[in-house]
């Protein structure tokens, strides 16, 4: 693209481009331009944002008129620039991007003093609902296998429900409204046994989870949400189970479980897939040298990095990572050009 073209401020969706060093991305259209940045929708489905210094790599491209018209229409629909009501396709999240967003706020990751204070409650003068260590310790003491066995043997099922209620009201993993199925549950031997089995039983977890949900629904007579169905196992066994927050599932699954499908109703087979995704995230963090303490850390990592307020940080991270990739490409290309210029005509390059 010439300097004249760069200065003419192309209109979104009115012409085709190709990245001069990334031909594999296919053709692209300009989706938007603002704040010294341009976003291009590419054929491979990605919406990529470029800072002003990198506009030069996006060069006008041409193809047969019929093909060009189809591409402009297709890419315009994807980017939302023209041709209908389609919403712009979201650029797929990567693990590196998510981790970089996390490190902007917590440079030492899970070892960061701010993280430990805000999320784990280490050294806090008083317990807050967001403090995971205190909530987990309480849950493990109140609902240990020994404690439940003692209460069940004594027939004190009211105390079982009281302890469940104390736990769910003492954490922000569920809202007050979401906690109602537990808080209003009618005590029964069946519910106590189902709770003990889901926490400390053996065998396939899916049917135990489904039975626990059935008993809780029957006892509380209120619709169950994913948070209330998973909060107690997540606190009692934080290395084995994860709390579920539906609002982050779709975005987290983009790289951690692309085929994840989940329902609004808690189900054992769906929970197994969500747990596998959480473990994938945990293992990626460990591989990056940022090991979480448990799956409560993984839960908070997902919430912190995927909440709407983190979108601005994600945009900034993507611009920086794209710029670093462009600089690396330019450096690599320059080295290759120098090597080629200095080699004898018939001598292969290595």
Confidence of residue 295 (pLDDT cuts 50, 70, 90): very high
pLDDT at 333 over 60: no
Model pLDDT, residue 350:
30
Model pLDDT, residue 250:
92
Range with the poorest average pLDDT among 160-169, 209-218, 312-321: 312-321
pLDDT at 190 over 90: yes
Residues 148 and 196 sit within 8 Å (Cβ to Cβ): yes
Contacts of residue 158, defined as CB under 8 A and 6 or more positions apart, other chains included, come to: 187
pLDDT at 178 over 90: yes
Q: Is the pTM of this model over 0.85?
A: no
Report how far residue 232's alpha carbon sits from residue 179's, in angstroms, rounded to the nearest whole number: 11
Mean per-residue pLDDT of the chain: 88
Nearest to 147 by CA among 242, 240, 236: 236
pLDDT in tens, 45-61: 888 999 888 999 999 99
Model pLDDT, residue 66:
67
Q: How many residues does the chain have?
A: 350
Domains and CATH numbers, the chain: 3-79 (2.30.30), 95-308 (no CATH)
Model pLDDT, residue 169:
98
Report how far residue 278's alpha carbon sits from residue 276's, in angstroms, rounded to the nearest whole number: 5
Model pLDDT, residue 81:
58
Model pLDDT, residue 271:
98
Model pLDDT, residue 209:
98
Model pLDDT, residue 348:
33
What are the residues facing 40 on neighbouring strands? 30, 48
User: What count of Cα atoms within 13 Å lies in the side-chain half-sphere of residue 120?
Assistant: 18
Which residue stretches of 201-310 are H helix?
205-220, 226-236, 246-256, 268-287, 295-306
């Amino acid at each position: 693209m010439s300097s004249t073209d760069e200065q003419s401020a192309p209109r979104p969706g009115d012409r085709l481009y190709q990245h001069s060093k990334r031909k594999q991305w296919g053709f692209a259209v300009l989706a938007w331009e603002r704040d010294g940045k341009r976003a291009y929708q590419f054929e491979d489905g990605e919406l990529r944002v470029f800072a002003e210094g990198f506009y030069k790599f996006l060069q006008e491209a041409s193809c047969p008129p019929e093909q060009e018209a189809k591409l402009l229409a297709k890419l315009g629909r994807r980017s939302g620039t023209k041709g209908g009501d389609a919403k712009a396709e979201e650029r797929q999240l990567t693990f590196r991007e998510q981790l970089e967003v996390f490190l902007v706020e917590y440079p030492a990751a899970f070892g960061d003093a701010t993280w430990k204070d805000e999320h784990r409650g280490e050294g806090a003068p008083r317990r807050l609902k967001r403090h995971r260590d205190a909530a987990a310790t309480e849950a493990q003491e109140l609902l240990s296998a020994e404690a439940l066995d003692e209460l069940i043997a004594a027939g004190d099922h009211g105390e079982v429900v009281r302890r469940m209620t104390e736990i769910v009201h003492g954490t922000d993993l569920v809202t007050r409204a979401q906690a109602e199925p537990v808080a209003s549950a009618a005590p029964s031997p069946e519910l106590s046994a189902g709770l003990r089995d889901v926490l400390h039983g053996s065998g396939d977890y899916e049917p135990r989870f489904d039975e626990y949900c059935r008993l809780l629904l029957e006892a509380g007579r209120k619709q169950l949400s994913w948070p209330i169905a998973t909060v107690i196992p997540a606190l009692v066994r934080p290395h084995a189970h994860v709390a579920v927050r539906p609002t982050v599932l779709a975005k987290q699954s983009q790289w951690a479980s692309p085929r994840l499908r989940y329902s609004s109703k808690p189900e054992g087979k769906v929970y197994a897939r969500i747990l596998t995704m959480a473990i994938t995230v945990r293992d990626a963090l460990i591989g990056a040298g940022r090991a979480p303490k448990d799956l409560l850390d993984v839960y908070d990592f997902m919430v912190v990095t995927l909440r709407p307020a983190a979108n601005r940080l994600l945009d900034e991270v993507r611009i920086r990572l794209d710029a670093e990739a462009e600089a690396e490409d330019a450096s690599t290309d320059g080295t290759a050009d120098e090597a080629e210029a200095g080699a004898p005509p018939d001598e292969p390059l290595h």
